[in-house]
């Protein structure tokens, strides 16, 4: 039993990494195609966590570099965590691909946007249609790629 749970968790890490790559690819393509500025929400989340923990990141230039480095790490951890939890909870009884993709995509958005909202970094109620679209499209790719990766990993084990 423990081995099945561990295998599901490991598959979730792999699928979460694949889904996170897809999410970041779509986000950055949107930035490039529309020439919009990069989001700084992850950097602001790092700063908020640092403030809450009363941690000093050093002089201003070094602190900015640390936020710039730790911000994307936070996004990667969120992306991998959401799929890992899904994989561990569903084990070998995964829902069909379209259902899994929707659950993973929405779950990923909830983990990321929920944590950012809880930290006071963003307020989804103020995003407007364009803001929601900018956030949702990458998570559609994230959910599809992560669910398809889990399905492929499951088939390879049979």
H, E, C per residue of 25-65: HHHHHHHHHHCCCCCCHHHHHHHHHHHHHCCCCCCHHHHHH
What pLDDT, on a 0 to 100 scale, did the predictor assign at position 27?
Answer: 95
pLDDT at 156: 79
Average pLDDT rounded to a whole number, residues 31-55:
95
| Averaged pLDDT of the chain | 94
Q: Given a cut of 60, is residue 1 above it in pLDDT?
A: no
Judged by average pLDDT, the poorest of 35-39, 99-103, 142-146 is 35-39
Average of per-residue pLDDT across 83-103 = 94
């Amino acid at each position: 039993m423990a081995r099945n749970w561990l295998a599901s968790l490991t598959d979730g890490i792999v699928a979460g990494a694949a889904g996170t790559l897809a999410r970041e690819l779509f986000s950055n393509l949107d930035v490039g195609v529309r020439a919009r500025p990069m989001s700084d929400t992850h950097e602001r989340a790092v700063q908020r966590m640092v403030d809450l923990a009363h941690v000093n990141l050093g002089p201003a230039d070094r602190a900015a570099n640390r936020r710039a480095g730790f911000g994307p790490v936070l996004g990667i951890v969120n992306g991998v965590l959401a799929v890992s939890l899904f994989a561990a909870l569903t084990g070998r009884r995964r829902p069909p691909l379209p259902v899994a993709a929707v659950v993973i995509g929405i779950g990923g958005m909830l983990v990321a946007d929920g944590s950012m909202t809880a930290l006071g970094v963003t307020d989804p109620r103020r995003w407007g249609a364009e803001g929601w679209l900018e956030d949702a499209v990458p998570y559609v790719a994230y959910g599809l790629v992560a669910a398809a990766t889990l399905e492929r990993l499951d088939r390879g084990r049979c």
